């Protein structure tokens, strides 16, 4: 038999060609200051991601399969969590967490320690936020309670959380904005005092720590995003780390159509009694695959996505360290500009996994002018997501409660921007960014 008549050899040939193709087609041209766009984020990958992707597509499993299984296991080990569920985005991860807390257990089903969230219950969350941290709260007819955010950390002001708790408050939904950890000591203390659920939006913060503990391991559950701007990517994707063992099967069921059955895709009869169940008012022996214990979704990923994610997941620590290095270099370089800019403020207990480098312009400086200057020099900028979300057209009329005033959230909306720190940025690019920032303020002074 000729070598390529054998599918295994044929696959080896294809994958060898993929490696060659990567080397030919995916090299980045050298950086030219002012000409090359210094993006705020980007995919960082090599031939391993391409090989995995092609391998998964040749296997043609399509739905979550062997790669997804490996990636879930690796992320479970990373977080030391009870479970890790891959989903199709960070937004879906947030939805899944809220839906899980709202799940009404059927009689005989395992109960959680804290009460199920019901319509009208309140959830404390920051005013400066990403929209899909908020929408699952609204869609479950829970009431968001907005607290003001801090300039510098861009997180919920921890000093406000305790007093924001009201008689209907049942949960705190904590994002670690831009990868800067929120003060989880304070969040935990308030939650314990008032018997509140804590869930973390860790979409920006994979690998960050607070007091030596990994962000995403404090709450009952936490989300991550694997969109290309984030620490690792699989194109579209994300996941939920489930830390509370009582929530494992609920979250898995809600992700997988709400079904009671826990067979992996393509498998049948994992429970060994597929036609032997008798639940609720169902006919005896009703096929377990079609028994629904919750009104769920289908939030699963494809194995091609997971294949990319698996290659990326080998490099989490490397990527996070590169982000930290770029962050430190920018911080040192922009320090002389502190009369004009508020630089990031990091709690002594926090080690960020930076998503970007945020700065807030001080009074007398127009953010719009600085953004125009940076963009004209081909440095990409971003704002802190939705800013004070209550000023967004889609959120201005939502049912909510505000604790105190949102003055600093408004200030962040007006005066803050961020630039990139992702691992694709070189020292030359970072130095160029510092130079362009510095030029803006020396021109402004002249």
- Scan residues 166-185 and list those touching ligand PLP (CB under 6 A): 175
Each residue 100-129 as x (binds ligand PLP by CB under 6 A) or -, in order, gives ------------------------------
DSSP state of 353: -
Q: Which is nearer to ligand PLP, 134 or 242 (CB)?
A: 134
Q: Is 262:240 a contact under the CB 8 Å cutoff?
A: no
* Residue 238 touching ligand PLP (CB under 6 A): yes
Nearest 5 degrees, angle CA 311-CA 314-CA 316? Answer: 115
Cα 277 to chain center, whole Å? 37
Each residue 202-231 as x (binds ligand PLP by CB under 6 A) or -, in order, gives -xx--------------------x-x----
Q: Give the total of residues touching ligand PLP (CB under 6 A).
A: 14
Q: How far is the CB of 205 from ligand PLP (least distance, A)?
A: 8
C-alpha radius of gyration, the chain, whole number: 24
Q: How far is the CB of 354 from ligand PLP (least distance, A)?
A: 13
Candidates 97-105, 197-205, 356-364, 408-416; binding stretch for ligand PLP (CB under 6 A) = 197-205
Which pair of tokens denotes residue 13? Answer: 């040939």
**Calpha distance 108→220 (Å, rounded):** 22
N residues, the chain:
446
* Residue 387 touching ligand PLP (CB under 6 A): no
> Which are the catalytic amino acids?
230
Q: How far is the CB of 293 from ligand PLP (least distance, A)?
A: 26
Q: How far is the CB of 398 from ligand PLP (least distance, A)?
A: 17
Q: How far is the CB of 373 from ligand PLP (least distance, A)?
A: 25
Which pair of tokens denotes residue 145? Answer: 């309670």
Nearest 5 degrees, angle CA 109-CA 110-CA 115? Answer: 110
Q: Is 84:242 a contact under the CB 8 Å cutoff?
A: yes
Which pair of tokens denotes residue 442? Answer: 């020396």
Question: What is the rounded (10 degree) CA torsion for 82, 235, 259, 114?
Answer: 40
Q: Which is nearer to ligand PLP, 41 or 52 (CB)?
A: 41
Residue numbers of the site for ligand PLP (CB under 6 A)?
Answer: 89-91, 94, 130, 132-133, 175, 201, 203-204, 225, 227, 238
């Amino acid at each position: 038999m000729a070598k390529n008549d054998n599918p295994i050899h044929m696959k080896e040939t294809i994958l060898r060609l993929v490696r060659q193709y990567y080397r030919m087609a995916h090299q980045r041209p050298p950086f030219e200051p002012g000409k090359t766009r210094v993006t705020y984020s980007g995919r960082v990958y090599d031939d391993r991601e391409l090989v995995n992707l092609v391998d998964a597509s040749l296997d043609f499993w399509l739905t979550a399969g062997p790669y997804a299984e490996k990636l879930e296991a690796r992320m479970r080990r990373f977080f030391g969590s009870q479970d890790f569920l891959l989903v199709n985005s960070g937004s879906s991860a947030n939805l899944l967490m809220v839906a899980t807390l709202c799940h009404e257990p059927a009689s005989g089903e395992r109960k959680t320690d804290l009460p199920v969230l019901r319509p009208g219950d309140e959830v404390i969350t920051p005013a400066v936020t990403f929209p899909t941290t908020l929408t699952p709260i609204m869609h479950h007819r829970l009431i968001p309670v907005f607290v003001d955010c801090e300039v510098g950390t861009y997180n919920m002001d921890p000093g406000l959380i305790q007093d924001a708790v009201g008689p209907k408050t049942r949960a705190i939904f904590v994002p670690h904005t831009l990868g800067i950890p929120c003060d989880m000591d304070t969040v935990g203390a308030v939650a314990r005092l008032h018997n509140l659920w804590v869930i973390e939006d860790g979409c920006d913060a994979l690998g960050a720590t607070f007091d030596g503990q990994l962000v995403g391991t404090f709450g009952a559950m936490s989300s991550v995003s694997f969109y290309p701007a984030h620490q690792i990517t699989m194109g579209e994707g994300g996941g939920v780390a489930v830390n509370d063992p009582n929530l494992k099967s609920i979250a898995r069921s809600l992700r997988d159509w709400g079904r009671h059955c826990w067979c992996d895709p393509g498998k049948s009869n994992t429970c060994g009694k597929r036609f032997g169940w008798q639940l609720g008012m169902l006919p005896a022996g009703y096929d377990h695959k079609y028994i629904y214990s919750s009104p769920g979704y289908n939030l699963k990923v494809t194995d091609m996505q997971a294949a990319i994610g698996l290659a990326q997941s080998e490099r989490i620590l490397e990527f996070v360290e590169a982000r930290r290095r770029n962050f430190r270099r920018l911080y040192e370089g922009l320090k002389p500009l502190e009369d004009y800019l508020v630089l990031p403020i990091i709690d002594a207990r926090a080690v960020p996994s930076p998503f970007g480098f945020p700065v807030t312009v001080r009074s007398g400086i127009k953010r719009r002018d600085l953004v125009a200057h940076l963009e004209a020099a081909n440095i990409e900028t971003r704002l802190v997501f939705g800013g004070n979300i209550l000023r967004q057209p889609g959120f201005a009329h939502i049912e909510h409660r505000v604790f105190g005033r949102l003055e600093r959230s408004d200030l962040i909306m007006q005066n803050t921007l961020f630039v990139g720190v992702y691992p694709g940025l070189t020292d030359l690019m970072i130095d160029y960014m510092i130079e362009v920032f510095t030029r803006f303020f020396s021109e402004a002074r002249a």
